[in-house]
Amino acid sequence: MTFAAPARALVRAVPASYVRCLRQGGGPVDPGLARAQVEAYARALEACGVAVERLATDEACPDACFVEDVAVVLDPGLAVATRPGAPSRRAEVAPVAAALRRRVADVRPLAPEDDGATLDGGDVLRAGAALLVGLSARTNRAGAAALARHAAPRGLEVVAVPVPEGLHLKSALTLVAPGLAVALAGAPGADLLRARGVRVLETDEPHGANVLALGPVVLVSAAAPRTRALLAREPGVEPRALDVSALHAGDGALTCLSLRVPPPGAWCA
């Protein structure tokens, strides 16, 4: 399979209950601004040729807009519905899985409810035939092992990566292109990527390590201007700044705002 921009993406609107979203800081959040920023994000994807499906939100799910956490799309024909580590987020899974089934032929549950497996999509980073899975406060070894059982028949290897701090693996490390990633200094998983031939650019900006590759265009948080300048020096990379400040306030970032489905014969970030 080749690396490509996503063919389509699922985006979920921000509920008014976003004021109660899970977050490590205690600062205020603005649902109205967050809603506008998610819509601007959806338009940015569409400008890059991605077909965006906007899903209705659910006031009972304050974190519903962070849709990446509730499923992992392994390839154009297979997705795995996750079991989020935060119990309050598990009601988000069924409606998103139902929406995915209209676009992906096979959408499977992660594992039986009673085996204790937890997995957030924000902890899963694909790099070629490898799936780096962060072992974080939200994802455990049983969750990584359950994902591996679905991934192995597709020729994908799951590599567990301890995440001692931060919310998710992709809070500190994301892919820019097949051979290029961006990371915070000392990010978990960065050395594993280097060992696989991926060049890792380091950023000192807290919101700079989570970027979204859409082919040559790479979305970068407007809160990370130095990261954008760093990526602009890379041949074939077109960084575009996007304001997602109201999503950062809820511990969100660019990748977690969509579930991306690659075109046939390809994989995407």
Q: What's the pLDDT tens digit per position in 100-158?
A: 999 999 999 998 766 899 999 999 999 999 999 999 999 999 999 999 999 999 999 99
Task: Quick: pLDDT tens for 28-57.
Answer: 899 999 999 999 999 999 999 999 999 999
Q: What is the per-residue pLDDT for 27?
A: 79
CATH of residue 163:
3.75.10.10
What is residue 240's predicted lDDT score, i.e. its pLDDT?
98
User: Average of pLDDT values for 58-84?
Assistant: 98
- The total of structural domains in the chain comes to 1
Is pLDDT at 216 greater than 90 in this prediction?
Answer: yes
Q: What is the pLDDT of residues 158-199, one digit of tens each?
A: 999 999 999 999 999 999 999 999 999 999 999 999 999 999
Q: Which of 26-35, 72-81, 221-230, 252-261 has the lowest mean pLDDT?
A: 26-35
Model confidence pLDDT, tens digit, residues 196-212: 999 999 999 999 999 99
The arithmetic mean of pLDDT across residues 52-80, rounded, is 98
- pLDDT tops 80 at residue 26: no
- Residue 206 is predicted with a pLDDT of 95
Q: Which structural domain, as residue segments, surrounds residue 176?
A: 2-267
**Looking at the annotation, which residues are catalytic?**
168, 256
Residue 253 has pLDDT above 90, yes or no: yes
How does residue 87 score in pLDDT terms, banded at 50, 70 and 90? very high
Mean pLDDT, residues 84-95 taken together: 98
The three state secondary structure string of the chain is: CEECCCCEEEEECCCHHHHHCCCCCCCCCCHHHHHHHHHHHHHHHHHCCCEEEEECCCCCCCCCCCHHHHEEEEECCEEEECECCCHHHHHHHHHHHHHHHCCCCEEEECCCHHHCCCECHHHEEEECCEEEEEECCCCCHHHHHHHHHHHHHHCCEEEEEECCCCCCHHHCEEEEECCEEEEECCCCCHHHHHHCCCEEEEECCCCCCCCEEECCEEEEECCCHHHHHHHHCCCCCEEEEECCHHHHCCCCCCHHHCEEECCCCEECC
Does the structure show a pLDDT above 90 at 94?
yes
